[in-house]
Structure 1
Amino acid sequence: MISKLVVVVVVVEVVVLVVVKAVVVVVVVVVVVVVVHVVVAVVVVVVVVVVVVVVVAVVVVAVVAVVVVTTVVG
């Protein structure tokens, strides 16, 4: 009787350990996926901001060049 009880306890402990490890793995995977998505989103926002700044700078330089040329020629 005691040996059967020991076997049942050991099996339950093993099952609990496996379930806990599986839950930990799932949580780690979810955290990694969320972090990767956040990093990608931040990179995309930074790239968009840089592109907008560059486009605005090019437009400003072009306007200044037109004004200077118009002023000098005119």
Structure 2
Amino acid sequence: AVMLRVVVVVELEVLVVVVPEVVVVLALIVLVAVVVLVAVVPVVVEAVVLDVLVVLVSVVVLVPLVLVAVVPEEVVVVVVEVALEVLVTVMVMVIVIVALVV
């Protein structure tokens, strides 16, 4: 899990350096990560967990898109990085909790 997080963060750092304006790419990474998580996590998982993930993804995807319209690019990049780190952390926690419960 830690390794996964490191890889994701490194990928994000590279993306932010190479294409700071492509917030959509970051959003897609988040969506892919959630799809992978849902595939990895057993189907038995309560719908609540998935609902929470959907809300998180929506927030992480929508907030940057709104920010891009009104806020300077540098600020957006920082916010997106923080949001994605939080999401990855939450996903790792969910995986751990599910592993313990199941």
Larger radius of gyration: 1
Q: Which has the higher helix share?
A: 1
Higher relative contact order (CA 8 A, sep 6+): 2
With structure 1 as the length reference, what TM-score do the two structures score? 0.41
